[in-house]
Amino acid sequence: MRSRFSINNYSNLGQRAITGLFGALLIVGGCIYSEYTYFLVFAGILGFSQMEFYKLSGLDGMLPLRSFGTFLGLMIFCLTFLVQQEHLSDKYFFLIFPIVSITFFIKLYRKTDKKPFTGVAYTFLGLFYVAVPFSLLNLAVFSVDATYNYEIIIGCLLILWASDTGAYFAGTKFGKTKLFERVSPKKSWEGFLGGAFSAIGVAFALTRYFHVIEDWKWLVIAGIIIIAGTYGDLIESLFKRSIEIKDSGKGLPGHGGFMDRFDGLLLSAPFITAFLKIF
């Protein structure tokens, strides 16, 4: 009898490697193929991540508007993409405010909510924590000559993945000195340094092959990802610790949920976009 392939038959490291490989191929392929496949890939990641956030909030007794909040996040992402493409004028950003305000009307008519404003607050938090950072990526990839540049998003992702991978293996092999034990007992300074060296190495490699921005900017982006990405990981660990769960979801075997995999990007994206826009 033939044995059926199941990723669950592999160790955690094996699951992590398989999921990471297929995920990376899908994301990199989507970013390279066209700006529209980039849009679909990251709209999907945003949607799953925001649904996870609202689900976790529900586990802690909060009642955010899960479906409507995710719709708002996707709307903001879509709007920024179309404005950056110059298919829409930036005046359409003003649509965000009245549409987001509908959240109050929905909560007003929900009789079962004992603390409606807590639900409103967590709905908005999902937008600021998940949707806004992903939407800012649209500003980053269109930051040079107002045209889509896949090198920017792929470069940032390669640095982020190198940082995560280096931190994982260095921490597993050499980790002894706790980085932030109160929030994440397994993270170590040795892992942080391993991730930093890996990220800087990839940034130097990008200066040879990706020329859409100046070489020194890749090194600055690496520094942003090393610091902000680490804090992003710690902040999500704090969030999960507060509701006593290990992973944000089970959608990515070996990695947990989408928020587990992209937590570093959530905090890095605003700093990267601001840096590219200002300089």
195-239, pLDDT tens digit by residue? 999 999 999 999 999 999 999 999 999 999 999 999 999 998 888
Query: C-alpha dihedral over 36, 256, 183, 44, to 10 degrees?
Result: 20
Buried b / exposed e over 25-34, threshold 16 CB at 10 Å, is: eebbebbeee
Residues 56-91: tens digit of each pLDDT: 888 777 889 999 999 999 999 999 999 999 999 999
Structural domain includes residue 131: yes
How confident is the model at residue 17, as a pLDDT?
A: 76
Structural domain includes residue 3: no
> Between 186 and 73, whose confidence is greater?
73
What sign has the CA pseudo-torsion 274, 272, 234, 187?
Answer: negative
Structure tokens at 168: 């994982």
Tell me what percent of the residues of the chain surpass a pLDDT of 70: 91
Structural domain includes residue 7: no
Tell me what percent of the residues of the chain surpass a pLDDT of 90: 67
* pLDDT at residue 175 tops 70: yes
HEC secondary structure over 76-119:
HHHHHHHHHCCCCCHHHHHHHHHHHHHHHHHHHCCCCCCCHHHH
How confident is the model at residue 2, as a pLDDT?
A: 47
Structural domain includes residue 201: yes
Structural domain includes residue 5: no
Residues 239-272: tens digit of each pLDDT: 888 877 766 666 666 567 888 889 999 999 999 9
* pLDDT at residue 130 tops 90: yes
Segment (H or E) for 230: helix 215-242
* pLDDT at residue 4 tops 60: no
| C-alpha distances in Å from residue 252, one per residue of 45, 122, 256, 259 | 11, 24, 5, 10
Query: C-alpha dihedral over 195, 201, 205, 207, to 10 degrees?
Result: 100
Structure tokens at 183: 């929030």
* pLDDT at residue 189 tops 90: yes
Closest CA to 129 of 60, 67, 52: 52
* pLDDT at residue 179 tops 60: yes
Q: Domain tally for the chain?
A: 1
Structural domain includes residue 148: yes
How confident is the model at residue 249, as a pLDDT?
A: 63
Residues 197-208: tens digit of each pLDDT: 999 999 999 999
Contacts 24+ apart (CB under 8 A), 165-168: 165/195, 165/198, 166/194, 166/195, 166/196, 166/197, 166/198, 166/199, 167/191, 167/192, 167/194, 167/195, 167/198, 167/230, 168/195
How confident is the model at residue 18, as a pLDDT?
A: 80
Q: Of 72-76, 152-156, 184-188, which range is least confident?
A: 184-188
How confident is the model at residue 1, as a pLDDT?
A: 41
Structure tokens at 95: 């649509």
Quote the CA–CA distance of 150 and 140 in Å, as a whole number: 10
| C-alpha distances in Å from residue 146, one per residue of 142, 143, 256, 277 | 5, 6, 36, 11
How confident is the model at residue 248, as a pLDDT?
A: 67
Query: Can you give the residue range of the structural domain that contains 233?
Result: 18-278
> Has this prediction a pTM greater than 0.85?
yes
How far, in whole angstroms, is CA 21 from its chain's centroid? 17
Structural domain includes residue 9: no
Structural domain includes residue 2: no
> Between 116 and 41, whose confidence is greater?
41
